[in-house]
Amino acid sequence: MTDLRSDTVTQPTPGMLKAMTEAELGDDVFGDDPTVHLLEKTVAEILGKEAAVFMPSGTMANQVAIRVQTQPGDEIFLEESAHIYLYEAGGPAALSGVMPRLIKGDKGIFTAKDIQALLRPVNDHFPRTRLVCIENTHNRGGGTIWPLENLRELRDFTKERKLGFHLDGARLWNAVAGSEQSEKDITHFFDTVSVCFSKGLGAPVGSALCGSADFIQQARRVRKLFGGGMRQSGILAAAALYSLNHHREKLCEDHRNAKRLAEGIAKLPAFQIDPSSILTNIVIFEYSGNSVESFLDRLNKKGVALVPFGGKNIRAVTHLGITRDDIETALQQIEAVQKNDR
């Protein structure tokens, strides 16, 4: 099966499994796991933050960041297609009691002006605005990378208004691999940053939340509250460390594979896509046939798995387990199945 449903479907590599079995372990709830400590120190250094805490998932990392930086009844700004808003099971409302205020961006990207237009005056009638969250790369935008100028402008705006600024950096590594920017070029604008090891980097489990030492101390407590305190989690941290040290460079190949896939799809009459818009590992394209579901079912039977992505859209994501040959095979099957539609 050429599984292009998501970059979360990767299997651990032999080198990663070896690192996991050889990891030195302790009970991390007692603060005893040396491999978790090493991972947290390494991630904090890469992102230029004082401290980091290992998390079981990107969802928990984002939700802990929101809980620590808000009070019930507060308002947080999110782009309308943000993962935090769409795909985290209503976490901001359920876990922090906050009200999401949505901004309509362009492929997930918005400006300080967009928020300014929505900002409420300070008044006892209104919810208090506390936090702005952005996603980089932005999944539903098609893996879009935020221009640094937008981030600078939003950072200045949030500082001036005394708002927190959080980055959902589940695919921060792809933003770096797909641009001239370093991790720190991006992260220095933010108070708090979540990253995932279990997407393009190919670890089986794991995320990290980064920020000031004081913030991370509070985040550890909320992680425990949310049930995310883990014991011999060094076995997972070892996989995350391995992915950081060995798989970041492969992301450039994933991006080239995504571009090739988009270029191939663009030549087929059943689809609409502009390959020049593909900057990272996510390929979203429009299907002009009758039923996306039926097309995807038939493609699946030919050994290629993609996901429906709202309306007539389909998403493919390249990752560690996908080679250039897999892309060529997938293109042949996509072409064959869409031919039968005509």
Q: Which residue ranges make up the site for ligand PLP (CB under 6 A)? A: 8, 57-59, 62, 83, 135, 139, 168, 170, 196, 198, 207
Least distance (Å) from ligand PLP to the CB of residue 87?
A: 7
Least distance (Å) from ligand PLP to the CB of residue 259?
A: 20
Distances (CA, A) of 4 to 1, 162, 254, 304: 9, 41, 11, 7
The DSSP bridge pattern shows strands 282-287 and 313-317 to be antiparallel
Q: What is the DSSP string of 263-301?
A: HHHHTSTTEE--GGG--SSEEEEEE-SS-HHHHHHHHHH
Given the complex with ligand PLP, which of 8 and 313 has the nearer CB atom?
8
Given the complex with ligand PLP, which of 208 and 334 has the nearer CB atom?
208
Given the complex with ligand PLP, which of 320 and 337 has the nearer CB atom?
320
Shortest-Cβ-distance residue relative to ligand PLP: 58
Question: C-alpha 39: how far from its chain's center?
Answer: 19
**Rounded Cα distance, 304 and 333, in Å:** 7
SS3 (DSSP) at 62: helix
> To the nearest 10°, the Cα dihedral for 257, 260, 264, 265?
60
Given the complex with ligand PLP, which of 196 and 238 has the nearer CB atom?
196
Given the complex with ligand PLP, which of 28 and 168 has the nearer CB atom?
168
Distances (CA, A) of 278 to 50, 57, 194, 272: 34, 26, 23, 13
Given the complex with ligand PLP, which of 141 and 164 has the nearer CB atom?
141
CA angle 100, 104, 110 (to 5 degrees): 100
Residues 190, 167: contact at Cβ < 8 Å? yes
Least distance (Å) from ligand PLP to the CB of residue 93?
A: 17
Distances (CA, A) of 277 to 139, 263, 329: 13, 11, 23
Least distance (Å) from ligand PLP to the CB of residue 34?
A: 24
Least distance (Å) from ligand PLP to the CB of residue 8?
A: 6
Residue 286 in tokens = 């429009």
Least distance (Å) from ligand PLP to the CB of residue 270?
A: 27
Given the complex with ligand PLP, which of 96 and 198 has the nearer CB atom?
198
Given the complex with ligand PLP, which of 141 and 234 has the nearer CB atom?
141
Least distance (Å) from ligand PLP to the CB of residue 117?
A: 25
Least distance (Å) from ligand PLP to the CB of residue 6?
A: 7
